Copies of this chain bind each other. A is one copy, B any other.
Amino acid sequence: MPTSEQEFLRVIDRRFPNTGPGLLLGRGDDCAILDPGGPFCVSTDIFVEDVHFRRSYFSPADIGHKALAAAASDLAGMAARPLGFALSLALPDDVGDGFLDEMLAGMAELAKRLGIPLVGGDLSRCAKLALDVVVFGTPGPSGRLLKRCAAKPGDALLLLGDIGLARAGLLELETFGCREANAWPAAVAAHLRPEPRIEEALTLAEVTTPDGPAISGLMDVSDGLARDLPRFLGPQLGAELSLCREDLSPEVAAFFTAHSQDPVEAAVLGGEDYALIASADKHRVAAVLAELPQTRVIGRVCSEPCLRLNSGQVLRQGFDHFAKPGPG
């Protein structure tokens, strides 16, 4: 643990550049000054030891990576381009300088790939390690920021990314308490090192047909599809999902089968997927698939405010960090 704020700022300065395209004044004053060139969007994600992660199976670099990845995924959920981020860090006394530097290195590596400068933050001691990340973004080339509650009945529901994979990883890591020698490498990686889908989101926002933009609404799936879909659709609408084992990552199908759970239902419950859910006019879906062939059509929006899976079952609730004991 650094012995002073000055020492900590030196560690930060070694890892994070203090310049960026929209950054008029970097770290070091009362405030940083950013020029978004128009509206900007903002989101906050708090990442707390023994609630969202455990030090027993997250490496320091995993912690730094995931704290920023989870926050940046909210930018993806608006189709926003990263502009900057702030980091507030609460450090327990037993966090050593090496741990801190590795954690910041993991965060800095992702920040570099995303092109997002660290513009400020704060530091405190605390009984638990906690990272609060605030991200700022601007509209991408499409000029649009895509919202929730914008789907229309009849729209197709599109999914980018795996659902259920991070949930399998969490269960595996919680069972064995470490990341070594596990049989589910993709699942474990999905839990420890999620990737915010910024580029795919920016591309989605740009897909246009002669009748207009293809995508009506967009959101990142962080609490599981079952919990996030009602937030995406709003109180007036529902959805009919069609999902089969072939829509899932092979590890999701195998993991939940091995644990005597229905893989499709487990995947829909999910949690920390950081996938993207989008709605598109059904006549414009082909244009999306032409641009992003990895997109899966997983159902359609309907006017009855109820979620059905494979034309039967009404979905249970998903994932609530706040209600749930233990990390994940």
Contact = CB atoms under 8 A, between A and B. Distances in A.
B38 A122 contact: no
Contacts of A126: 48, 51, 126, 128, 130
Contacts of A43: 30-32, 120
Tell me the interface secondary structure of chain A in the complex: strand
A58 interface: no
A29 interface: yes
Contacts of A35: 38-40
A137 B125 CA distance: 27
A45 B219 contact: no
Given A128-B128, A148-B29, A41 B46 contact: no
Interface residues of A, number: 65
A323 B80 CA distance: 38
B90 A46 contact: yes
Interface stretch (A2-10, A157-165, A187-195, A278-286): A2-10
Given A30-B43, A34-B40, A88-B44, A322 B124 contact: yes
A132 B46 contact: yes
A28 B132 CA distance: 19
Contacts of A4: 320, 322-323
A78 B40 contact: no
A216 to B, nearest CB: 14
Contact of A78 (B29, B51, B148): B29
Nearest to A127: B127
Interface in A98-150: 119-128, 130, 132, 134-137, 145, 147-149
A130 B90 contact: yes
Contact of A34 (B29, B32, B39, B130): B39
A219 B132 CA distance: 25
Contacts of A128: 126-128
Give the residue among A32, A42, A323 with the most B Cβ atoms within 10 A.
Answer: A42
Given A5-B322, A88-B132, 15 more contacts: A5-B320, A29-B78, A29-B148, A30-B43, A31-B80, A32-B41, A32-B43, A33-B40, A33-B145, A34-B39, A35-B39, A36-B40, A43-B120, A90-B130, A128-B128
16 contacts: A24-B39, A29-B77, A29-B78, A29-B149, A29-B219, A30-B77, A31-B42, A32-B42, A32-B43, A33-B145, A34-B42, A35-B40, A36-B36, A48-B124, A48-B126, A126-B128
**Nearest 7 A/B pairs, CB to CB:** A30-B77, A31-B41, A31-B43, A132-B132, A46-B122, A35-B39, A30-B74
